[in-house]
Amino acid sequence: MEICATAHAVKYIYKYIYKGFDKATVEITTGGQQQRDEIKEFLDACYISSSEACWHIFEFNMHAKSPTVYHLQVHLPDQQLIYYNDEDIADEVLNRDNINKTQLTEWFAFNAKDRHGVAKDILY
């Protein structure tokens, strides 16, 4: 019974530390059709509580995820993203040594060469 009470208190504290205070916005306009500014509406609806502001100011982590999750590229053959600067010459960009190497293609290459079965436990 004591474990349930502690879990409930932690959930309550967590909810109100990160949720912040309730906020409502009312806008009254007179007559006629007015163009909606959805970006302004979104920004006006955002609210950062004092406790959340302190966490951001002192650069504390708001949430922790374990294991760490990375966004990995997925693409069809020869359709990977290529990064370049405006002043780069197109032929030089396309002739770079590593132009066809991405995380995905290197993962496939590693799996193709893996003789010891290490890759079977690695998910992409």
In tens, the pLDDT along 99-111 reads: 888 888 888 888 8
Could you tell me the pLDDT band of residue 9, with boundaries at 50, 70 and 90? low
Residue 24 neighbours by CB distance under 10 Å: 5
Average pLDDT over residues 18-30: 67
- Whether 44 is in a domain gets the answer yes
HSE, CB side, 13 Å, CA atoms: give it for residue 25.
Answer: 9
Give the angle subtended at the CA of 44 by the CAs of 40 and 48, to the nearest 5°.
140
By C-alpha distance, which of 62, 65, 64 is closest to 20? Answer: 62
Q: Are residues 88 and 118 in the same domain?
A: yes
Instruction: Map residue 124 onto helix, strand or coil.
Output: coil
- Give residue for tokens 């879990």: 7
Residues 57, 51: Cα–Cα separation, whole Å: 10
- Whether 21 is in a domain gets the answer yes
Q: Are residues 121 and 75 in the same domain?
A: yes
Structural domain for 98, as ranges = 70-124
- Whether 65 is in a domain gets the answer no
- Whether 64 is in a domain gets the answer no
The reported pTM is 0.41
- Give residue for tokens 């504290």: 13
